[in-house]
Structure 1
Amino acid sequence: MSTRPPAVPEPARDSPSLSAAGGWPFLITALVGRLPAATVQLGLLLYVSGAGLGLGLAGITVAAAGLGSAVGAPVIGRLVDRFGPLPVVLAATVVQLLGMGLLLAVVLHDAPRSLILVCAAVVGAANPQVGAIARARWSALARRRDTPGLVGKALGYETACDEISFILGPVIAGILVGVLGPNPALLVLMTWVVAGQGCFIAYLVSRRGMRVDTQTPTPTDGTAPRIRLKAVLPPMLACLCVGTVFGSTQTALTAINAARGTDAYTGIIYGFMGLGSAVASVLVSRFPERVPLAWRVAGGALLVVLVSVLLLPVPGSVGLALLFTVIGLGVGSILASAYTRGERVAPSHRIASVMTMLTTCLVLGVSFGSALGGVLSVVPRHGFLLTLGAGVAALLVSVAIHATRPPGRRRDV
């Protein structure tokens, strides 16, 4: 309407392009830098099982890595907010490599299996959280340039990058272990960590004066605003719901294809969800400001609920691929909107902390969905009941997001 204040920009029209705002080096290195994290998780699963230690221990190993990541991510975020990304990412990468090296030594020397879990937890805890740091950087750029519309586009792009990494990471891990065998594959995976995260470290070195938020330093007089749990909790719950969808659909799909004897299709079909999520995260970021974030979450949740119902009869492989694409559109909408809300309610000097809190909830959701989904998937299609429940929960979260709108913002944020 013509009465809208001119200071409220339409992101797609007035915001600078991502390449102009962040620069191609940042875009490329932030994408490459998060690929190792997506590769390591499945890599640990395949390594432990391929080493002849059993799929059960392999699953527990991945759970230990996930728990380590859930514990370590908030610490990483707080350290980044305080010291900047360069020393934290560098130190985390070194610790992660040490954990992987110790894991290799433990397996080769037939040490107690409990040490495998300890090493996996260290590897997970030392995840440098490149995606969360990149999101915080976009927030800092938008605040410095006074272009709030940039954040929506950037966070949508970042979610798409996450989905690309979730697709490529397992493929890389599977190829490494399948072609090289477990021990050489772990060594190559360590090299991959150095190369991928090293690219991002090299970018940070070239911008060594950069803090995650260059506009608002952390006050030292005790007046710094704290993270308001009431405001941050809804996007955290939204990420938890999305993670549950990821975990439950993965286990249900694995069980279905195992029963059909089409195990090779599991990764391919699951990749369609990542494709749909990547597309949705970019499209949702282009929505005008007048479309409230709560509506975007609700729309995505409705898609998850409807598709979950359609998945219960367990269609054929083509039908599964199509439905996984659509459910990906739903979770992409929820996830992009959750990160946008998290950025908007976070204090300017705690952006990285909030982003890592959201990432932690996503990881916990995947672990919860995989664990409970695995129990339900004794009857393969029952795993989708958990997916349905996560969709319903996301609908309730959309109500909470609407009810906790930050005061003084432009319409609904």
Structure 2
Amino acid sequence: MASTVASDKRPGYGQLLRTPGAWTFLLPGFAARQPFAMLTIGIVLLVQHTTGSYGSAGAVAAVTGVSMALFAPQSGKLADRFGQRAVLVPGVVLHTASVSALTALALTGAPMWALFAAAVPTGASVPQVGPMVRARWAARLPGSPLLPTAAAFESVTDEFTFVVGPVLATALCTGVHPAAGLVAEAALTLVGGLLFAAQRRTQPAHGGVLAAGRAARTSALSVPGVRVLAVAFLGIGAVFGGMQVSLTAFSEELGNPGMNGLLYGLFAAGNMLAGVAVGAIAWKSGPRRRLVVGYTALTVTASLLWTAQSVALLGALGLVVGLCIAPALISGYTLVDALVPASSRTEAFTWLTGAVALGQAAAVTVAGRLADENGASAGFLVPLVGTALALVTLLLLRSRLSPPPGGRVAARGIGHRVPVTVD
């Protein structure tokens, strides 16, 4: 009994990964979530190569991000209603075709309106594999103390893709061909997405098999806490987008474009390392408090990026900024389980993912213009402004991150139910 209690207090990654069926969706899911890491930088590098403008490259990437932000929650809602496979299979096929069309148009010197037109379905069809994996964890571990560990593990996985994805895309674009990054992104999406969709046994129950009831008809965005989290994640997206464009411009100014992958890899590595630590610690404070503390640290560190004038200093600052992102992301995703009914969970996760994409889209546009007109350092002002505005909103509305009065009750095994706390 004592060993069981200790295990509940400090569940580890080993215990999490022994969850039956976990590996069947984790491995293909890793390949299928590469678009979020490779797509923006692949577009920026290709369009900048063909047009010579970071502003134009950022604008095309922004259209993709806005399209993803608008359609991702709809994808999550459809997955909750009809099942993940029904959404994924046509989605990955459409995404592969759209990326191929965008690549061909860029290489043939098509006008900007044509690139924008191709960018819309490219973003709309980005498979929401990360939210779907999180929904599978939540379905397999209802009310379990392993859920925060699962949220941390998913953040680590996301950030590992942000270590691998941008470095791989940059290496392919600069060392093989400017379009090679997008070609690899499309191939990984197609293969990984179809393999992930084939894992039916771990797919959460969807609207067609859930018992009829009000919870099954609840929209995730109707929950006030989800709206507050979405604003917070907009700021995180501003960091991702501002870093991608500004680091690319900074590397170009140095005459060493390949340095971009290393610098962004340091930023993402910090996020990944922090994610590992967050999941390994038995926290005494709740996710709401950790979100506020983590986001405050993120805002402070992001405000220093524009001052860096050397590779060493920028790499160090990027690493520290990355260390501050993971606690905010993990805490936000953990709060979803307490705020949102299971029938709307995938939709809730996609609202947060979409908010990151929207913040990223706005950031690449503004940072691209600033980099064109004032140099790379000006682009780093975007993470500063984005995180500061989101932090103010988070502090003013943090009370909305509490579940309904009395707390939402979550099951922990048969006949065992415990209240969910967030502080």
How far apart are 1:216 and its partner, in Å? 11
- Point out the more displaced range, 356-365 or 10-19: 10-19
How far apart are 1:356 and its partner, in Å? 0.4
Alignment pair present for 1:412 and 2:422:
yes
Tell me how many residue pairs correspond in the alignment: 401
Q: Percent identity?
A: 28
Corresponding residue to 1:220 among 186, 196, 212: 212
What residue in structure 1 maps to residue 62 of structure 2? 63
What residue in structure 2 maps to residue 284 of structure 1? 278
What residue in structure 2 maps to residue 172 of structure 1? 168
CA spacing shift, 1:97–1:308, aligned 2, 3 Å:
closer
CA distance in 2, matches of 1:223, 1:134: 21
CA spacing shift, 1:90–1:298, aligned 2, 3 Å:
same
What residue in structure 2 maps to residue 151 of structure 1? 147
CA spacing shift, 1:189–1:332, aligned 2, 3 Å:
closer
- Point out the more displaced range, 293-302 or 273-282: 293-302
Alignment pair present for 1:24 and 2:20:
no
What residue in structure 2 maps to residue 368 of structure 1? 362
How far apart are 1:84 and its partner, in Å? 0.9
Question: Which letter does structure 1 place at the counterpart of 2:366?
Answer: L
Question: Residue 73 of structure 1 contacts residue 360 of structure 1 at CA under 8 Å; is this kept in 2?
Answer: yes
CA distance in 1, matches of 2:268, 2:382: 19
CA distance in 2, matches of 1:103, 1:127: 14
CA spacing shift, 1:234–1:88, aligned 2, 3 Å:
same
Question: Residue 100 of structure 1 contacts residue 190 of structure 1 at CA under 8 Å; is this kept in 2?
Answer: yes
How far apart are 1:398 and its partner, in Å? 4.8
Aligned residue for 2:307, secondary structure, equals coil
Question: Residue 54 of structure 2 contacts residue 369 of structure 2 at CA under 8 Å; is this kept in 1?
Answer: no
How far apart are 1:201 and its partner, in Å? 2.9
Question: Residue 290 of structure 1 contacts residue 412 of structure 1 at CA under 8 Å; is this kept in 2?
Answer: no
How far apart are 1:231 and its partner, in Å? 2.0
CA distance in 1, matches of 2:184, 2:30: 20
Question: Which letter does structure 2 place at the counterpart of 1:368?
Answer: A
What residue in structure 2 maps to residue 354 of structure 1? 348
CA distance in 1, matches of 2:302, 2:36: 28
What residue in structure 1 maps to residue 128 of structure 2? 129
Aligned residue for 2:127, secondary structure, equals coil
CA spacing shift, 1:187–1:16, aligned 2, 3 Å:
closer
Question: Which letter does structure 1 place at the counterpart of 2:397?
Answer: A
CA spacing shift, 1:166–1:261, aligned 2, 3 Å:
same
Question: Residue 37 of structure 2 contacts residue 166 of structure 2 at CA under 8 Å; is this kept in 1?
Answer: yes
CA-based RMSD: 3.1
CA distance in 1, matches of 2:320, 2:328: 13
CA distance in 1, matches of 2:182, 2:383: 33
What residue in structure 1 maps to residue 101 of structure 2? 102
Question: Residue 50 of structure 1 contacts residue 181 of structure 1 at CA under 8 Å; is this kept in 2?
Answer: no
Question: Residue 79 of structure 2 contacts residue 87 of structure 2 at CA under 8 Å; is this kept in 1?
Answer: yes
What residue in structure 2 maps to residue 3 of structure 1? none
How far apart are 1:296 and its partner, in Å? 1.4
Question: Residue 136 of structure 1 contacts residue 213 of structure 1 at CA under 8 Å; is this kept in 2?
Answer: no
Aligned residue for 2:126, secondary structure, equals coil
What residue in structure 2 maps to residue 192 of structure 1? 188
Question: Residue 286 of structure 2 contacts residue 422 of structure 2 at CA under 8 Å; is this kept in 1?
Answer: yes
CA distance in 2, matches of 1:121, 1:10: 46
CA distance in 2, matches of 1:248, 1:364: 12
CA spacing shift, 1:292–1:390, aligned 2, 3 Å:
farther
Alignment pair present for 1:268 and 2:262:
yes
The aligned runs of 1:246-261 (5 Å cut-off) are 246-261=240-255
Question: Residue 271 of structure 2 contacts residue 322 of structure 2 at CA under 8 Å; is this kept in 1?
Answer: yes
Alignment pair present for 1:12 and 2:11:
yes
Which runs of no fewer than 5 residues in structure 1 stay unpaired? 1-5
CA spacing shift, 1:64–1:198, aligned 2, 3 Å:
same
- Point out the more displaced range, 398-407 or 235-244: 398-407
Which runs of no fewer than 5 residues in structure 2 stay unpaired? 408-418
Question: Residue 152 of structure 1 contacts residue 286 of structure 1 at CA under 8 Å; is this kept in 2?
Answer: no
Question: Residue 171 of structure 2 contacts residue 261 of structure 2 at CA under 8 Å; is this kept in 1?
Answer: no
How far apart are 1:189 and its partner, in Å? 4.5
CA distance in 2, matches of 1:262, 1:403: 46
The aligned runs of 1:314-353 (5 Å cut-off) are 314-353=308-347
CA distance in 2, matches of 1:214, 1:79: 9
How far apart are 1:310 and its partner, in Å? 4.0
CA distance in 2, matches of 1:386, 1:51: 25
Question: Residue 132 of structure 1 contacts residue 359 of structure 1 at CA under 8 Å; is this kept in 2?
Answer: yes
What residue in structure 1 maps to residue 113 of structure 2? 114
CA distance in 1, matches of 2:296, 2:339: 25
CA distance in 2, matches of 1:314, 1:182: 28
Question: Which letter does structure 2 place at the counterpart of 1:167?
Answer: V
Question: Which letter does structure 1 place at the counterpart of 2:22?
Answer: G
Question: When the two structures are superposed, what TM-score results if normalisation uses the length of structure 2?
Answer: 0.83
